[in-house]
Chain A
């Protein structure tokens, strides 16, 4: 499979700050690629390096094999859906969508027809005559998407595009984006700090931390076999056990991760006992925080399971494979 985007030891420093610090990465053509990380982890800077709004301090960036080190943004065949949508307020929706064709010199009739076709693709038929200010947040998001697709880019970059939407709309848009990506076959590079969004939508997830990629893999790999403490903690809230504690449970003497939903409460297969110190109701179930010798372990109890009271002493158990040993360091 051809690489849509490749980073070879790319760095981007802002003065003393190393926003991107030696990133190697390969995004395969036609995949849905998520860049996941907390704010300031370098994920957005990486996206802007692809679009050309940032220049690398060092290293090389290739888009479909071509080095883009000296190519300005307007000559890169990639388009961006901006976080704040960045729709032009003085143009109506149709002119916004047709903008990419207008600057290329495509005739009025042809470009407006294409704009209408794209508005129909994002289910906004009949909205062409409105101004962006007259649309809801979700509708503006769709216009931004249609506008970014009008030039038929090789790679579509999405910078936290769903961040400003409410939960219900966000979930609907996640499904739509995923379906759209499948249908168009374009490579999508999606930046988000929402781990649920990254896991549910992406084929491949890169977890960023402090300017570097902490782990890259399929959502299942990232979730089930986090490589570092940071990944275990950031992607789903995991129990991160220090080496001495992990060794007591039979794992090798390194840091280990134990997902709360793998932890059972009850006497069968009990490995440790502790006292319940807090309960957190999460709707789909309850998280039980248990104080054990040497630390705390969180267990997730699904609906219908009996919930212990705070202060109660409980036994905790899990299957043999549930405890996952991680690499040393961050």
Chain B
């Protein structure tokens, strides 16, 4: 049984005969119909150009690089010998070259670890507590350093860390010169001043790449519902247990994503160690010199393959350890 609610039919517009199918209006409607009938057409249309770009320009050059690394250089003429050989890779194993690799990988690992430790509280605050204006301020604060020129930032740091710089001055002012001196006299990572030591290089790397760790971490933490943390506390877990067994594993994909950035960016950088640090070379500098002044393209290519291999190993281990289980 129904109730009559309308005494008169709905008011009609101009056309007298109503049809079930509306007329087609121009090209837009025709394209919409085509995409509706064949959804794959739209997909292909959207993907062809970016995929071509990615495939040819990016992967293509990577393949060319890989190919170069299997050539060698004729030591007398300096000409590239276009024959397949593993000799160039063997050259990487020379002590001087191994030093460069170990130095770079250690620095990348230290930068990644430091960035993760500093980024976590910031990302956690932004994900859990910051709302409205504070959230906007957070994004601004994190992104702002990315807007200014990389070189300006690095040179600014050189001034900050220099022997005559603000840190030395501040240490003098508060009577902590001895502390600074003790830090600088540490073996290996110390030096004559912060700007010529590994500590300085590490600090600048940390500063420059930190946003790349904070943002993915914050995105991962944002996806952890409040109720999950409450459930953990409800079941008797202390704050530390909740962090270790719930927050950390769930933030892991974000930490891994961030560490891919900080790790690979540090592995490939050749400007920061050039400006701030001891004059000992990193992979990026080696590649830069080998393909430029030395003209040894095959060895440069072999060096460039090293970060790729390291990243693959890193991701494989991370996956084995279950870092992506929460994805």
Contact = CB atoms under 8 A, between A and B. Distances in A.
Interface string B311-323: 0000000000010
Interface in B211-246: 225, 227-228, 230-238, 241, 245-246
B326 interface: yes
B268 interface: no
A241 B225 CA distance: 46
Q: In which size bucket is the chain A interface?
A: 20 to 34
B249 interface: yes
A73 B246 contact: no
B255 interface: no
Contact of B230 (A73, A90, A100): A73
B236 A104 contact: yes
Interface string B1-14: 10100000000000
B228 A103 contact: no
A89 interface: yes
Interface in A159-212: none
Given A89-B326, A279-B3, A310-B3, A103 B237 contact: yes
A293 B153 CA distance: 82
B172 interface: no
A83 interface: yes
Contacts of B231: 80, 82, 86-88, 147
A88 B227 CA distance: 10
Contacts of A32: none
A14 interface: no
Interface in B294-327: 322, 325-326
A86 B228 contact: yes
Nearest to B241: A103
B227 A89 contact: no
A278 B233 CA distance: 52
Nearest to B231: A86
A330 interface: no
B250 A90 contact: yes
B1 A82 contact: no
Contacts of B3: 278-279, 310
A100 B236 CA distance: 6
Interface in B251-308: none
A87 B225 CA distance: 10
Contact of B227 (A73, A74, A84, A279): A84
Contact of B1 (A87, A88, A100, A281): A281
A74 B236 contact: yes
Interface string A63-105: 0000000001111001110111011111000000001101110
A3 B236 CA distance: 23
A75 to B, nearest CB: 8
Main secondary structure of the interface of B (DSSP, over half): helix
B246 A279 contact: no
A151 B235 contact: yes
Contacts of B233: 52-53, 72-74
Contacts of B234: 51, 53, 73-74, 78-80, 148
Contacts of B1: 279, 281, 307, 310
A103 B326 contact: no
B235 A86 contact: no
Given A83-B227, A89-B326, A281-B1, A99 B250 contact: no
A88 B246 contact: yes
Interface in A201-230: none
A248 to B, nearest CB: 29
A84 B237 contact: no
Given A103-B241, A281-B1, A88 B228 contact: yes
Contact of A90 (B225, B227, B232, B249): B249
B230 A103 contact: no
A75 B1 CA distance: 59
A103 B225 contact: no
Contacts of A73: 230, 233-234
Nearest to A157: B234
A89 B235 contact: no
Contact of B235 (A53, A72, A147, A279): A147
Given A74-B234, A75-B236, A89-B250, 13 more contacts: A53-B234, A74-B233, A74-B235, A84-B225, A86-B228, A90-B326, A99-B235, A100-B235, A103-B232, A103-B241, A150-B235, A281-B1, A310-B1
Interface of B: 1, 3, 225, 227-228, 230-238, 241, 245-246, 249-250, 322, 325-326
23 contacts: A52-B233, A72-B233, A73-B233, A74-B236, A74-B237, A78-B234, A80-B230, A82-B230, A84-B225, A87-B231, A88-B228, A89-B326, A90-B249, A90-B326, A99-B235, A99-B237, A100-B235, A100-B236, A103-B236, A103-B245, A147-B231, A150-B235, A279-B1
